[in-house]
Each structure stands twice: as structure tokens, then as C-alpha cells.
Amino acid sequence: MSDTRLPPGFVDALRQLVGPEQVITQPEELLVYSYDGTWALGHPDVVVSPRSTEQVAAVVRLAYDAGVPIVPRGAASGLAGGAVAIHGGLVLNLGRMNRLLRIDRANLVAVAQPGVITAELQAAVEAQGLFYPPDPASVKQSTIGGNVATCAGGPRCFKYGTTRDYVLGLEVVLPTGEVMRTGGAVTKSSTGYHLTGLFVGSEGTLGVITEVTVRLIPKPRASRTILAVFDRLEQATTAVGAMLDAGVVPATMELMDQVTMQCVENYLHAGFPTDAGGVLLVDVDGDEAAVAREAAEVAAVCRAGGARAVREAATRQEADELWRARRAVGGAFGQLRPNRLGEDICVPRAAIPEAVARIQEIAARYDLTIAIFGHVGDGNLHPNILCDLRDHDLVVRTLQAAAEVFQVAIDLGGVLSGEHGIGLLKRDFLAANLDPVAIEVMRRIKATLDPRGLLNPGKVLPPPDVTPPTTVPVGAITAGDSC
């Protein structure tokens, strides 16, 4: 790929704005910015790595005036194809804007540039006795800007909420190059429209996030980790409801099926039982007395629900090992198949057992291995369809099964995505999940802020005349390349 599709003089103008070392046009370097955490591929014509809001605004303004598509990009760990330049154009790499600007203990906020790694933000605030709860599985790779763009979640969502619940203010570069600030250090505001919330979860289609102000809370004084082992997966899913009925509010409640456990145990030897049908990995936190009481309640509920074993991690190191294994599931699946299609449906909590049963039936009908894990406390399931891109028939079955998994979520009153976003991969299914008037309002918002349709084009909103497909289109996954 070269810059031949760009307007004459465009690359030279970029170099003048940000410096030649921050502009990439060489084909082998562009390749690095052509993909994200999915199978999707793009073909950027130029990559720019700004270091300040002023540079972002200047680059966006230049590209917008020239009619060049702009794709914001963080760590590219996303799982919906949201950071892939499917229409070419300019990739705006925000990874160099990676400064944690300040931690304000008095007001319980932190201010960060978008390229700050989420785990680094967490570590910095915890060193001061504070806590930033959102913790996506990609916490050591993903950036705070990307988390805001997709409204990332993670295991602690049930008790603490998602990224949306912690963003107090933003600095955003609009598609025209204007810089807008929303919100701030206050935790309450009924002053005007909630513009901050509009950009959280907008996946880079409405503006480029250049600064984030997040709410912090005091760090919990104590925590305990419990592993409950069940012979059958349905016992584990049923225990989730029983735990909530008992009034227990765990910090995390993770489900893993047998395939997931076997893979992570072979990979890291963390102590998961490979012969069990499913496990629940539960954290409780708070003050020591409450934690001890809730840990005992969790154990009692799980035993009453048929758990054959309930084990509390004896040390913080043992608990960390269990969670390290849970976060490593994506890499561990490579033992069975070289590729996977990681899905992200969310259903009402009461529907979890039925959703799991229907996904298992889909796997059997298509002769596929679908590993099921997820944040069951808030109904967020991650069915991962294991596959091999070199096997065309297997890929076709994988994509057909994925479409049926989407339908399961819709049938049960759920949504297509709990935390990964819609991006490219689920775009054409959106009309089957949302009210048509709501989609039309979204289109109007997009047209108002981005009248030329140049900011992350082709993502989130389906074309007006699209009919929800019965399979995930192969072209949407592979950008036209054969499987």
C-alpha cells in the first residue's frame, strides 16, 4: 500500500504539522496498523502518531477538509473490528499520548491521555490507596481511550459497573477539528445534555478522545477469592441466580466451562479441575468482617447448588494465579485451534442458564467447539468459537453459528455486545437488536457531528437498506481475503 490514494501533497502537509518521524507510509510499517484483535483486515494509506491534542486537531482538520477517512486507534486489542481502516485513509495512532496527567486525591479523580494502559492507571491510583474498578481482560494491553470508546467492562462490572460509570469528563476532537471539553471533576451534573455519555461507547465514530477524567473510589480494604467446582455447567449457571437471591453482591463472578478450564490448566497449571463441567470464580471485597461473612455465604450457596468442591484461595498469590489463568483464556485456546471468534453477548441474568444451553446446542448442531466463559454476574457471556482460518468449511460453519449466537441474545431480551462494541463485525445485525427509531436517531447524531461521514466510516451503524444477515459475512471478517 502507498499514499497514491491520498490527495497530492497530503502526506507532506501531515509531516509539516506533526514532524516527519510521526508519519508512516512504508508498506511494511502500514501492515502493523492494518488489523486489531479480530480477523478483520484494513489497508491504511498513512499512519500518524500525534503527541498532543493540538496535533490531533490539526491532523483531523486537514484530513476532514481533504476528504480522507480517519480511523482512531489505541492498542488495537478490540474484538469488533472497530480500529481497522476498511476504507483506507488515515489511521490516527494515539498510543504516544500516554501520560497520566494527574491523580487528584481530594476530588477522587484521575486525568489521563487516551494512550495510558489501563493496568498502569490502576496501579498508579492503587499506590495511593484508591481504586479504578473497570478491568477488561486486556487490561495490561488496552488503553483508557479505547476502553472509553467501547465502554469496556470486565469481571468487576456486576458490583462496580462499566467504564461509562467512571467517566466524568472528556476532551474530544470533533470530526471538523474543533476541540470540545465535557464534564470535569464533579460527580454530579444536571447542566445541559450529557455529552460525556454520548461519546462513551461511540467507538471513534463521533470524535477522537484526547483526554479522560475518571472517577476513583477508595480501595477496598480486603478481598477473598472462592473457586466453586460443579460437575455440570448448568449447576454453575443456576447457582448464579441463587447467589443473587441470597443477597450476596460479589465483586466478580466468572463462569468457565470445561473446555475453557482444560485449556487454561494445560497452559498455566493454576489448579482448575479439568474433569468438571464448570466452575465459578468469585471475588468478594470490602472491609474484613463483611468479606469473611460474604465469602462464607458464597460457599454455602454454591454447596447448596450442587458444587462438589468449594475452595478459598489461601493467599493473595494463589488468588492472583487463578485470575491470571482466567485472563489468559484467549491465548490458551490456541492449543485446540489456531483461531477463534470471540463473542460478547449479554442477556438478563435470569436467562443465563437458557442462553448457555442454547449455545451448547448450536455447537453440537454445527459440529464446533464453543468455549463458554464470561462475567455471569451481569449476564455477559463470551462464547468463543474455536476454528482454523485455513479450513474454509469450518470458517463458514463458525460464522453461521455466530449469527445464531447473536439471535440467542436477541430472543432472550439481551444485546449483541456487553463490552466489546459493535464495530464492523456486528454492524449489520444491529437492526435486529435495536428499535428502528433509535437507530435513526443515532444516524442523525452521526450526520450532525460528522456530516461528511469520514470518522471511522463503516463502523457501528449499518447501511440504511441492509437486512440483518443469517451469517456473519466472510468479507466483514477477512476484508475480502480467502479463508
User: What is residue 476's predicted lDDT score, i.e. its pLDDT?
Assistant: 46
Place of cell 494512550: 115
Task: List the chain pLDDT tens, one digit each, 483 residues.
Answer: 345 589 999 999 999 999 999 999 999 999 999 999 888 889 999 999 999 999 999 999 999 999 999 999 999 999 999 999 999 999 999 999 999 999 999 999 999 999 999 999 999 999 999 999 999 989 999 999 999 999 999 999 989 999 999 999 999 999 999 999 999 999 999 999 999 999 999 999 999 999 999 999 999 999 999 999 999 999 999 999 899 888 889 999 999 999 999 999 999 998 899 999 999 999 999 999 999 999 999 999 999 999 999 999 999 999 999 999 998 898 899 999 999 999 999 999 999 999 999 999 999 999 999 999 999 989 999 999 999 999 999 999 999 999 999 999 999 999 999 999 999 999 999 999 999 999 999 999 999 999 999 999 999 999 887 777 767 655 444 433 322
Would the CA dihedral through 288, 293, 299, 301 be positive or negative? negative
Instruction: Write the Ramachandran bin of 184: left for phi over 0, alpha for psi from -120 to 50, otherwise beta.
Output: left
pTM, two decimals, is 0.92
Q: Report whether 378 contacts 419 (CB < 8 A).
A: no
Question: What residue ranges define each of the domains in the chain, with the CATH number in brackets?
Answer: 10-93 (3.30.43.10), 100-218 (3.30.465.10), 222-266+277-315 (3.30.70.3450), 337-421 (3.30.70.2740)
Q: What does the alpha-carbon distance between residue 259 and residue 4 come to, in Å, rounded to a whole number?
A: 48
Determine the distance from the C-alpha atom of residue 21 to the mean position of all C-alpha atoms in its chain, rounded to a whole number.
Answer: 31
How much is the pLDDT for 386? Answer: 96
400 near 357, Cβ under 8 Å? no
